[in-house]
């Protein structure tokens, strides 16, 4: 954390000298108002870095795992809330919408764009990342090649809930490589599950 704070200070116009004490001339703010504004900016930057650390610590160690099954070999189907708890019980988590979009790209989909740029047919995905922060991107499934087996026959829950619609989450279609929105706890919307091992 010490080095993190030093980095933020350096990036927000603080200058460190070789002196043991930091005097007023070393700080690039001249008035009380300026210094308070700089302090506020430092807090914002520190919070941003801490959120980034949390997100990086949740990055997967492995690709998206296989379709989860019961002891008899049958595919498991859950609501999104139960799917979240199921993966957590395996020291894992559900894949995010972006991770499934990358899976779609690997299967030939046109994939992800970070900006819309008025490109037709790209769908807005306004979900959340593994740390719960908003993750906005645009996705097009055209070109997706359907996998064989259970991955290509099911809808799968993602970890990403819909921003400003916390009762809904994104699901990914293994059939067509597209996303759909569904209620997280609806009794009649039980989808398949794949998990990702995390640090």
In the chain, what are the domain boundaries?
2-57, 77-197
What pLDDT is stored for residue 80 in this prediction? 96
Query: Backbone dihedral region of 91: left (phi > 0), alpha (psi from -120 to 50 degrees) or beta?
Result: left
Give CA separation, 9 vs 13, 50, 51, 54, in Å.
7, 15, 17, 20
Structure confidence at residue 187 (pLDDT): 80
The reported pLDDT for the residue numbered 169 is: 97
pTM: 0.69
| Angle between helix 2-11 and helix 32-57 axes, rounded to 10 deg | 130
pLDDT bracket for residue 10 (50, 70, 90): very low
Tell me the mean pLDDT in the region 97-124.
91
> Is there a contact between 143 and 110 (Cβ–Cβ < 8 Å)?
yes
pLDDT recorded at residue 133 = 94
Asked if residue 199 has pLDDT above 90, the reply is no
CA distances from 90 to 86, 139, 150, 185 (A): 7, 30, 20, 21
Q: What is the pLDDT of residue 88?
A: 96
pLDDT at 2: 42
The yes-or-no verdict on residue 32 having pLDDT over 80 is yes
41 exposed, middle or buried (CB, 10 Å; 0-12, 13-18, 19+)?
A: middle
pLDDT the model gives residue 172: 98
Tell whether the model's pLDDT for residue 1 goes beyond 90. no
Length of the chain: 199
Widest pairwise Cα distance in the chain: 72
Q: What pLDDT band is residue 51 in, cutting at 50, 70 and 90?
A: confident
pLDDT at 6: 45
Judged against a pLDDT cut of 60, whether residue 197 lies above it is answered with yes
- How many CA atoms lie within 13 Å of 32's alpha carbon, on the beta-carbon side? 0
The mean-pLDDT minimum among 11-20, 80-89, 144-153 falls in 11-20
Which positions ≥6 away from 83 have C-beta within 8 Å? 94, 157, 191, 193
| Summary mean pLDDT of the chain | 85
């Amino acid at each position: 954390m010490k080095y993190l704070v030093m980095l933020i200070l350096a990036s927000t116009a603080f200058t460190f000298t070789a002196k043991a004490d930091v005097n007023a001339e070393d700080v690039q703010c001249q008035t009380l108002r300026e210094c308070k504004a700089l302090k506020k900016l430092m807090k914002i930057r520190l919070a941003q870095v801490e959120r980034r650390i949390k997100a990086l610590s949740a990055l997967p160690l492995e690709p998206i795992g296989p379709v989860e099954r019961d002891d008899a070999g049958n595919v498991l189907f859950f609501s999104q809330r139960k799917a979240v708890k199921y993966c957590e019980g395996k020291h894992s988590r559900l894949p995010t919408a972006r991770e499934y979009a990358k899976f779609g790209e690997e299967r030939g989909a046109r994939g992800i764009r970070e900006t819309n740029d008025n490109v037709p047919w790209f769908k807005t995905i306004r979900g959340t990342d593994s740390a719960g922060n908003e993750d906005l991107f645009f996705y097009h499934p055209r070109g997706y090649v359907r996998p064989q087996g259970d991955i290509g026959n099911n809808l799968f829950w993602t970890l990403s809930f819909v921003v400003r619609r916390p009762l809904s989450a994104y699901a990914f279609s293994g059939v067509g490589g597209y996303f759909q929105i569904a209620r997280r706890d609806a009794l009649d919307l039980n989808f398949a599950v794949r998990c990702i091992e995390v640090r």
